[in-house]
Chain A
Amino acid sequence: MKNPLADKIVDIKPSGIRKFFDVVKTIDGAISLGVGEPDFDTPWHIRDEGIYSLEKGRTFYTSNSGLQELKNEICTYTKRKQGVEYDPNSQVLVTVGGSEAIDLALRAMINPGDEVLIPQPSYVSYEPCAILAGAKPVIIELKEENEFRLTAEEILEHVTDKTKILVLPFPNNPTGAIMERKDLESIAKVIREKDLFVLSDEIYSELTYTDKHVSITEIEGMKERTILINGFSKTFAMTGWRLGYAVGPKEIITQMTKIHQYAIMCAPTTSQYAAVEALKNGDDDVAMMRDEYNHRRRYLVNELRDMGLPCFEPFGAFYIFPSIKKFGMSSDEFATKLLEEEKLAVVPGNAFGDCGEGFIRISYAYSLDDLKKAMGRLRKFIEKL
């Protein structure tokens, strides 16, 4: 019998998160701070629109690039939030979550041998998607002393004449790092000089806790070379609806739409109708959730520092990324021991890239009561070390 498998796929290592998940499952009564999705339910008025669309029998495909009304709303929203304008008819693609958009953008832009700069620690799918698209991923290891922000120097150290795309994952999962306008301006200069394209994953754009999020597309000369990815999962607590989108230059969106058309047809229709409602009338929900996350964030930073876990103050997403280096254990060892002894699950930092070694990711997508219980366990664990 022939080998049924493709070498390219087999060679991709399974996600470190998956490995840890299998361990957590076996522990009875474990509480978890390991979830990368909001604890809030999708606001009812948004769910209601989804239900209503089903009642009305809107159960057919939409156009490949998405429901016209939704594409219009996405452009209105992007204009309103970022002040950047896109044409709903040629520069928007509605996708099955932000994840699909990441995959499509890389596949639409990569030629064999092109290099893609991927800052890590970051979300788990950039590197495998780049490999599947035929690119050579080049990892930029972000540094704690820079609060895990990306600097122009770091880009320059890794850029070659084969570099085509820079992945820009901010606000960041797992570190909670953000890029402020000044940070973006300084990297934009290098991006223009080195003639790079940017895949900017701004899925956590609504969850920043100091100033309003700044998109790289707001910086001069960047919109023309950026695929901006966003979605509904984090902003509106809609992870299970599987809905995201990409906006960007027409020529790239056109090719992305082609792949999407053949591989997916269109994003789920029910979700698209619900999403229209989210963009039109969801601002108050987002503000409420943001305030709540912010309270938890401040509580956690205070607790972690108080128990002697050093961490920089994260200003985005819903994660804290404390260092556990001083305990002389690897992230895996720390997380496993914490799970076994105190039945508390956190994600080892190296699941998000080798440079996440020495850190753990703590999610605060949990109620304050849950967080308090968890912090009690963590404190007890650390005191014994």
Chain B
Amino acid sequence: MVKREELLRTIDKNSRISVQELAIMLGEAEIDVANELKALEDEGVICGYHTMIDWSKTSIDKVMALIEVKVTPQRGIGFDSIAERIYKYPEVTSVYLMSGGFDLMVILEGKSLKEVASFVTNKLSPLETVLSCSTHFILQKYKDHGTILTKKYDDTREIITP
């Protein structure tokens, strides 16, 4: 029986690992691992296999912003419908419903500051239920998804120890 949590934790950090390798590392049969992965995908537990890219090291310009959005929840449907209106924009990478001082956290990716600004003024703010937006630009990503981006740590151990 494949342990789900162990399987998920293993591919959480490395989604490129092959089913064959996973089977060896987890001490399970290949077919069982493949079936479990399929089941996890079908159930929507595994939602995708993405690549972490540090765009700042490429020549492609990307600007990321976190936008705190306050909205008026609507009778009967709460925040879901307004969230949907926002997350349908392809430039929006994440939308979270938050506790605390504001309601929705919208994470946005654009080519330039101007593009992000234009999204906020022309698309987000005019939405009827949106009361206010507060936009924060990301200046530098130090660590993302548990991975440190800014520094590589060398192995400083002695080469041979008892």
Contacts and interface: CB of A to CB of B under 8 A. Distances in A.
Interface in B55-96: none
B160 A37 contact: no
A291 B24 contact: no
A289 interface: no
Contact of B162 (A123, A291, A368): A123
B159 A291 contact: no
Contacts of B144: none
Contacts of B128: none
B152 interface: no
Contacts of A173: 162
B157 A17 contact: no
A260 B59 CA distance: 61
Contact of B21 (A20, A25, A41, A299): A299
B25 A34 contact: no
A46 to B, nearest CB: 17
Contact of B10 (A37, A41, A295, A351): A295
B160 A21 contact: yes
Interface in B89-125: none
Nearest to B153: A41
Nearest to A173: B162
B161 A17 contact: yes
A351 B160 CA distance: 12
B24 A299 contact: yes
Contact of A17 (B9, B21, B24, B162): B162
Interface residues of A, number: 28
Interface in B14-36: 14, 21, 24-27
B54 interface: no
B162 A36 contact: yes
Contact of B159 (A34, A41, A296, A298): A34
A36 B24 CA distance: 24
B9 A291 contact: yes
Nearest to B155: A39
Nearest to B6: A291
B159 A30 contact: yes
Contacts of B26: 295, 298
B153 to A, nearest CB: 8
A291 B159 CA distance: 24
B57 to A, nearest CB: 19
B43 interface: no
A190 B153 CA distance: 50
Interface string A25-65: 10000101011110101000000000000000000000000
A25 B27 CA distance: 36
A20 B160 CA distance: 8
A15 interface: yes
Interface residues of B, number: 17
Contact of A345 (B21, B153, B159): B159
Given A298-B27, A299-B21, A34 B161 contact: yes
B159 A35 contact: yes
A188 B159 CA distance: 38
A32 B160 contact: yes
Contacts of B25: 295-296, 298-299
Interface string B122-162: 00000000000000000000000000000001010111111
Nearest to A23: B160
A123 B153 CA distance: 29
Nearest to A124: B162
A271 to B, nearest CB: 18
Given A291-B6, A291-B9, A295-B10, A345 B24 contact: no
Nearest to A123: B162
B44 to A, nearest CB: 25
Given A291-B6, A295-B10, A35 B27 contact: no
A89 interface: no
Given A295-B25, A298-B25, A299-B21, A21 B9 contact: no
A17 B162 CA distance: 6
A165 interface: no
Given A295-B10, A299-B21, A21 B159 contact: yes
B2 to A, nearest CB: 14
A24 interface: yes
Residue among B10, B14, B155, B161 facing the most chain A CB atoms (10 A cut-off) = B161
B47 to A, nearest CB: 23
A39 B154 CA distance: 11
Interface of A: 15, 17, 20-21, 24-25, 30, 32, 34-37, 39, 41, 123-125, 173, 291, 295-296, 298-299, 302, 345, 347, 351, 368
13 contacts: A20-B160, A21-B159, A21-B160, A32-B160, A34-B159, A41-B153, A123-B162, A125-B162, A291-B10, A296-B25, A298-B25, A299-B25, A302-B24
Lowest 8 CB-CB distances: which A-B pairs, in order?
A: A34-B160, A295-B25, A21-B160, A32-B159, A36-B161, A302-B24, A124-B162, A17-B162
